[in-house]
Structure 1
Amino acid sequence: MTIKVRIPVQLIIEHKAIPHLYKTEVYEWIKEKKVALVSGNGKTRAVTHDIVEVISGQASRIQVMSCENNSLDTINELERMVLEDPPDIIFGVGGGKALDVSKVVGTRSNVPVVLFPTAISSDAICSPVAVIKMLNKSTSIGVKMPQGVVIDLDLLASSPPRLMSAGIGDLLSNKSALFDWRLAHAAGKEEMNTFANLMANNAVDSFLNLINRPEVDSSRMIKGAAESLIMSGIAMSIAGSSRPCSGSEHLISHALDYHCGGKALHGEQVALGVLFSEYLQGQREQVEKLGPIYEKLGLPAHYEDLGYTREEMHRAIRKAPSMRNRYTILNEFELTDESIDQILDEVYPEQAKNRYQLTGSSSG
């Protein structure tokens, strides 16, 4: 049996991708077409203006809409505006929230979407999943894959380093997520798509191989991270769910959001969750190896560096299994208060503190 997998028709990852957009097939798509741009906040507005300048002679109409947040109210308002005079294509411009909102609005209004990430803080840059806020709770929903993705490497290079680090944190979680997926398959809880498994695993390995080279400049690292995050998104499209890239580590992050105030970026919290999950998965040598990698990539190795207390981290671990109906390593253990305390001491030792600064948090 074969399945139909949707992937972007156009993928552009290069320097000056926005100024040179007129040279691409994406530019041909919009000839005498109506284009709606969903723009995030901050410097995203300037990027949106740059895109408008490039396409103004090609599109028949350009409408710019502001995306203040990823709440259901914002999505409903943007969808209303789109349906009043439907565009032929939507350009989503910004960080993770703006991209997710664009995908949701495009899916609900049946309009194709092209994404222009201004940062790579998560795998939202190309995935069939979007995170939205409903009743003050972050919820993942299925969406159509974008028709195209345009990544301007010069733009990414100018974004706060913290945002790229968060995206890499999201990428590294593929390892623990795949372990959980195999565990669920062995327990008879879920089917395993071996091709999606292979792609998600290779996405991480290709990036780790890149950063382990003696000399890798920042431009190559940014491009490598973007390519690996896109491979992760395609792995999710193949699987038909976020399973290849989301397991127990994501449940911990969701619990931090919902029960502890969500004090940090998604990828940063996921990176913390990876350490706890891999410890439970019996991969304690891997946890030790991640220490130097986290330090090199600017990822937090202790919850206090993200503003969480021990009590909050303890609460998140306890609540994580109930965040969604997904079988993971957390279902294999009866974690008591005492055992959680012991693991917190081992996974997040005192010497792991103060290696990380909370700077440059805006993700548009």
Structure 2
Amino acid sequence: MKIPSLPEIERQSLRKWNDKRSAVVFTTEQVWDLVKDQLDIFPHQKFYVAEATKPTMDHFVNQAEGEVVYGIGGGLAIDTAKYVAAHLKKSLFAVPTVLSTDAFLTDATGVRINGCVRYLASKSPDLVLVDIDLLCRAPIVMRTNGAADVLSIATGMWDWQYAQDTGKNPSNQMIESHAVEIGNAILKNLIKNAKEIGNGTAAGMKVLFDLLCLEVQLCYLCGHSRLEEGSEHHFVYSLENFLNEHALHGDLVGLGILLMSALQDQEWQPYQTTLEQLRINYRPPGVTEKMIINTLVGLSAYVKEHQLPHTIAADRNITTDLAISTIEEVLG
């Protein structure tokens, strides 16, 4: 089995970067306005990305013409750039302007297909340009959102162990004690540094960046993402079908961590404190109590329908009364 590795990473001011090759740039209008005077590149084509669907990405593949591909911004823009660069066999440069996901480190692109998130093979960036000062200046509402994909180790690893104990792990996803120990160390470091990260200091953002790198590389070594993607993510994938407006991934995952850790009979209060210190809003606007209830009650059927990895969500009979009492316990 070939084990992927992290992409090459350069920590430097964007103002020091210079690339005169014709570039296909995937970004958003707001992000481009932020970086266009700092980043010395030649944007032969510029696409503003608004959704993560395969038809949209295939359209970009057919339209893109350039020597290199740039993904600038958050997960949506960079995931799209990864998909296009892979299909066109072009060099890819990722410029994260916010640590909202770990997409700039991975070799797959997440899209919604038939009501669930699926990961399509794409490619890792050939180079990730990291400007810590730029990350510190990201909007507070999303600046540390990617930390939720580290905190989800708390519920993801619990689910992985639960599947092991119930004999539901496939042979290539069996629990490995050293992976659990490393995962716990990553989780403990996030909790320890949550205040610093939430304050958006250079030291805090570097810690978050490093923890995202460690989490991704650990998943590569395991050959799967079970240690950080469990019932809390499955809850999010289902909940997104009920939403009428966009919500930040990290906010939704934060909500999922609290609800599912309570249903796992874990002590969820420390995770709530950590989310608050990280300034991740686990009460996302546009998410109603009715949406949460419907998601929880239907979660067992949802994970079975979409054949998601085995977690507590598959076995826990979440009635309407249990959903309501869990929401009241966690959210008040």
TM-score w.r.t. the length of structure 1 is 0.78
- Provide the residue aligned with 1:189 in structure 2: 169
1:102 aligned residue (64, 78, 81): 81
Q: Does 1:79 align with 2:75?
A: no
Equivalent residues of 2:143, 2:200 under 8 A apart: no
- Provide the residue aligned with 1:253 in structure 2: 236
What is the deviation of 1:208? 2.2
Q: Does 1:294 align with 2:292?
A: no
| Rounded Cα–Cα distance in structure 2 between residues aligned with 1:64 and 1:182 | 47
| Rounded Cα–Cα distance in structure 2 between residues aligned with 1:237 and 1:110 | 22
What is the deviation of 1:111? 2.7
1:41 aligned residue (23, 29, 43): 29
| Rounded Cα–Cα distance in structure 1 between residues aligned with 2:75 and 2:266 | 30
Q: Counterpart of 1:132 in 2: which secondary structure?
A: strand
Q: Counterpart of 2:318 in 1: which secondary structure?
A: coil
Pairwise mapping of residues 160-179 of structure 1 onto structure 2 (< 5 A)? 160-179=139-158
Unaligned runs of 5+ in 2: none
Aligned residue type for 1:261: N
After superposition, give the CA deviation of every residue in 1:2-55 in whole Å (9 maximum; x if it has no partner): x322223421235x2x11235xxxxxxx6x85543322221334414532x2x4
| Rounded Cα–Cα distance in structure 2 between residues aligned with 1:201 and 1:115 | 29
Aligned residue type for 1:309: T
After superposition, give the CA deviation of every residue in 1:135-193 in whole Å (9 maximum; x if it has no partner): 67654334322222111112112211111232222321122111112222332333236
Aligned residue type for 1:68: V
Deviates more, 1:318-327 or 1:154-163: 318-327
Unaligned runs of 5+ in 1: 23-29, 57-61, 350-364
Q: Counterpart of 1:306 in 2: which secondary structure?
A: coil
Q: Counterpart of 1:131 in 2: which secondary structure?
A: strand
Pairwise mapping of residues 296-311 of structure 1 onto structure 2 (< 5 A)? 296-301=277-282, 303=283, 306-311=285-290
| Rounded Cα–Cα distance in structure 2 between residues aligned with 1:109 and 1:192 | 36
| Identity in percent | 20
What is the deviation of 1:199? 4.7
Aligned residue type for 2:214: M
What is the deviation of 1:315? 0.7
| Rounded Cα–Cα distance in structure 2 between residues aligned with 1:136 and 1:340 | 22
- Provide the residue aligned with 2:191 in structure 1: 208
Pairwise mapping of residues 233-252 of structure 1 onto structure 2 (< 5 A)? 233-252=216-235
| Rounded Cα–Cα distance in structure 2 between residues aligned with 1:113 and 1:207 | 29
1:120 aligned residue (76, 99, 106): 99
Aligned residue type for 1:296: Q
Deviates more, 1:199-208 or 1:94-103: 199-208
- Provide the residue aligned with 1:331 in structure 2: 314
Rate the CA distance shift 1:9–1:123 in 2: closer, same or farther, 3 A. Answer: closer
| Rounded Cα–Cα distance in structure 1 between residues aligned with 2:28 and 2:79 | 11
2:6 aligned residue (5, 8, 27): 8
Equivalent residues of 2:164, 2:175 under 8 A apart: no
Q: Counterpart of 1:260 in 2: which secondary structure?
A: coil
| Rounded Cα–Cα distance in structure 2 between residues aligned with 1:39 and 1:260 | 24
Rate the CA distance shift 1:172–1:91 in 2: closer, same or farther, 3 A. Answer: same
1:50 aligned residue (23, 38, 48): 38
Q: Counterpart of 1:104 in 2: which secondary structure?
A: helix
Rate the CA distance shift 1:168–1:72 in 2: closer, same or farther, 3 A. Answer: same
- Provide the residue aligned with 1:68 in structure 2: 49
Q: How many pairs does the alignment contain?
A: 322
RMSD over aligned Cα atoms: 2.8
Q: Counterpart of 1:227 in 2: which secondary structure?
A: helix
| Rounded Cα–Cα distance in structure 2 between residues aligned with 1:174 and 1:108 | 32
Rate the CA distance shift 1:250–1:300 in 2: closer, same or farther, 3 A. Answer: same
Rate the CA distance shift 1:153–1:48 in 2: closer, same or farther, 3 A. Answer: same
What is the deviation of 1:312? 1.1
After superposition, give the CA deviation of every residue in 1:228-255 in whole Å (9 maximum; x if it has no partner): 1222222333333332321100111112
Q: Counterpart of 1:50 in 2: which secondary structure?
A: coil
Q: Does 1:278 align with 2:276?
A: no
TM-score w.r.t. the length of structure 2 is 0.85
What is the deviation of 1:310? 1.8
| Rounded Cα–Cα distance in structure 1 between residues aligned with 2:258 and 2:89 | 40
What is the deviation of 1:197? 4.5
- Provide the residue aligned with 1:159 in structure 2: 138
After superposition, give the CA deviation of every residue in 1:322-344 in whole Å (9 maximum; x if it has no partner): 15322111123122222222222
Aligned residue type for 1:73: P
Equivalent residues of 1:8, 1:149 under 8 A apart: no
After superposition, give the CA deviation of every residue in 1:55-83 in whole Å (9 maximum; x if it has no partner): 45xxxxx523213222333311221133x
Rate the CA distance shift 1:8–1:114 in 2: closer, same or farther, 3 A. Answer: farther
